[in-house]
């Protein structure tokens, strides 16, 4: 009889413990994690372009805190996402380039990513679209994986001549296509993710939605492209002599695409700069349309009041600034990213934070917001103090790395760049937000440069293994002019 009572007591204890765990888990907030590919600051609330039309992202920013000075850790997809997902800097994890696999870098072989960590700590993890750089990433990251589409079907639809007017455009194409919004890659992902938001879960959920637009090619349905007539579309503010004060390494960075259709010379000589700008603006508006659908689905669900919303982009994008296109630079256009967070019972509507923050900060921020243990390898800083008070004191500059030895340091006031060969640039963002005037050669700024240089990594780990040369990347030496 005593054994029966003991067994019964044990069962009751187990059931009570399980109920307690489920109760605690149910109290944790859900997370809607919206990742966008290649979206720079051409978002209305960030004032990156005066003609940006992004009402849904602007509305999201008003709901919580908009970080107006947020920066990526690498201005290219694979190292940026590897850094964000593992909470480690490129110079400490060995993933510097797009032609790498995250798990083949020795220091990231066993690293725990954000979705893995949330799943291990009681969350139901759901993913769709582009979160990891390739495929769905770690198979043990997701309880449910939705869909992810590549661009192959569009190439077949459009044909090799493209729509931009560039000869042999390949992936460097841009312009309108006759495809309904819902049939675009992001439209399909958004529809699937919106359906997941209508479901009930017995655990808190972590839903990651990766939108690939405005990644190249810059295709949008005609209805979005037509919102930006070429006769009135404004080019970004540039100066004809903007490259004159760049050091040799800075000048070399502008030449990465010189042998491709995406070179500044090629686009301008074919008179297509305005069309490229209109196409990028249209892509931003289309992405905003998808974000609006996600937010509408959340708002009408049972999860509207207990879901943290995070929206971020993996890096910026040049549209001819400094006669440069795409990313892979250490200037503002490449490093600055949209970042906005709405956290129920933490953030207040209308928060704007000008402190320099990093994408690497998202991992510790989310673990703290969701009251789960911090991951051991996290190198970022939780943004919780800034979510509570956007003007809170903050002494952490943003560090961006483009291949070994090339880094920028961004504060509220300055951007300092030092290249692998020792070349330097310095920009005063209080007076020169477009980074037109390089102050590095002026002796009165030597002390400021020395102070900023103290934040650069002292040691950089070797690069992990490289993949074979990819179709759309160039042979390029990032270590010397």
What residues contact residue 75 under an 8 Å CB cut-off, 6+ apart? 315, 316, 327, 328, 329, 330, 334, 335, 400, 402
Contacts of 121 (CB under 8 A, 6+ apart): 372, 373
Q: Nearest-CA neighbor of 54 among 71, 72, 75, 36?
A: 36
Query: 462-465, long-range: CB within 8 Å, 24+ apart, which pairs?
Result: 462/94, 462/404, 463/94, 463/95, 463/96, 463/97, 463/100, 463/105, 463/404, 464/94, 464/95, 464/100, 464/101, 464/104, 464/105, 464/106, 464/107, 464/108, 465/100, 465/101, 465/104, 465/105
Instruction: Determine if residue 310 is left, alpha or beta; phi over 0 gives left, psi from -120 to 50 gives alpha, anything else beta.
Output: beta
CA distance 3 to 249: 78
71 is catalytic: no
Residue with tokens 């920066």: 71
Alpha helices (H) in 167-272, listed in sequence order: 185-197, 222-225, 248-253, 264-269
* Catalytic-residue membership of 133: yes
- The kind and range of the H/E element at 79 are helix 77-86
Pairing status of strand 307-313 against strand 30-36: parallel
Closest C-alpha among 316, 335, 462, 451 to residue 399: 335
Alpha carbons 102 and 98: distance in angstroms, whole number: 10
Q: CA 234 to CA 229: how far, in whole Å?
A: 10
Instruction: Classify the phi-psi angles of 341: left when phi > 0, otherwise alpha if psi is within -120 to 50, otherwise beta.
Output: beta
Radius of gyration, CA atoms only, the chain: 23
77, 290, 353, 370: the active-site residue: 77
Q: Is 219 helix (H, G, I), strand (E, B) or coil?
A: strand
User: Which run of H or of E encompasses 126?
Assistant: strand 124-129
Please pick, among 56, 71, 117, 133, the residue that the annotation labels catalytic: 133
Which residue numbers are catalytic? 77, 133
């Amino acid at each position: 009889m005593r054994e029966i009572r003991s067994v019964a007591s044990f069962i009751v204890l187990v059931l009570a413990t399980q109920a307690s765990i489920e109760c605690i888990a149910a109290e944790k907030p859900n997370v809607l994690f919206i990742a966008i590919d290649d979206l720079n600051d051409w978002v209305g609330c960030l004032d990156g372009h005066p003609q940006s039309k992004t009402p849904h992202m602007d509305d999201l920013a008003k709901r919580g805190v908009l970080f107006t000075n947020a920066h990526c850790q690498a201005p290219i997809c694979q190292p940026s996402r590897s850094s964000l997902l593992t909470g480690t800097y490129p110079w400490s994890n060995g993933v510097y380039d797009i032609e790498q696999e995250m798990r083949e870098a020795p220091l990231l072989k066993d690293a725990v990513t954000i979705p893995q960590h949330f799943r291990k700590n009681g969350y139901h993890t759901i993913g769709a679209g582009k979160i990891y750089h390739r495929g769905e990433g770690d198979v043990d990251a997701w309880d449910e994986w939705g869909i992810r589409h590549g661009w192959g079907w569009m190439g077949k639809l459009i044909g090799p001549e493209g729509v931009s007017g560039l000869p042999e455009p390949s992936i460097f194409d841009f312009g309108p296509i006759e495809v309904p919004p819902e049939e675009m890659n992001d439209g399909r992902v958004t529809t699937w993710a919106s359906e997941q938001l209508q479901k009930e879960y017995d655990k808190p959920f972590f839903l990651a939605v990766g939108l690939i637009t405005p990644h190249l090619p810059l295709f949008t349905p005609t209805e979005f492209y037509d919102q930006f007539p070429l006769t009135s579309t404004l080019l970004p503010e540039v100066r004809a002599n903007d490259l004159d004060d760049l050091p040799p390494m800075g000048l070399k960075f502008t030449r990465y695409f010189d042998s491709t259709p995406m070179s500044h010379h090629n686009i301008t000589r074919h008179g297509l700069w305005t069309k490229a700008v209109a196409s990028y603006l249209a892509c931003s508006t289309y992405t905003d349309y998808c974000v609006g659908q996600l937010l509408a689905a959340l708002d009408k669900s049972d999860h509207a009041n207990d879901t943290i919303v995070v929206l971020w982009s993996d890096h910026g994008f040049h549209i001819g600034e400094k006669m440069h296109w795409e990313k892979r630079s250490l200037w503002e256009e490449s490093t600055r990213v949209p970042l906005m967070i709405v956290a129920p019972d933490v953030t207040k509507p209308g928060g704007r934070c000008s402190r320099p923050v990093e994408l690497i900060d998202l991992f510790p921020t989310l673990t703290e917001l969701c009251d789960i243990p911090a991951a051991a390898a996290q190198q970022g800083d939780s943004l919780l103090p800034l979510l509570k008070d956007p003007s809170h004191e903050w002494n952490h500059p943003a560090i961006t790395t483009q291949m070994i030895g090339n880094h920028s340091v961004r504060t509220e006031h300055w951007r300092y760049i030092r290249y692998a060969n020792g070349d330097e640039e310095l920009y005063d963002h209080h007076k020169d937000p477009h980074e037109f005037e390089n102050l590095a050669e002026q002796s009165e700024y030597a002390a400021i440069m020395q102070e900023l240089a103290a934040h650069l990594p002292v040691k950089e780990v070797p690069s992990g293994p490289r993949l074979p040369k990819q179709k759309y990347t160039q042979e390029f030496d990032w270590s010397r002019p």
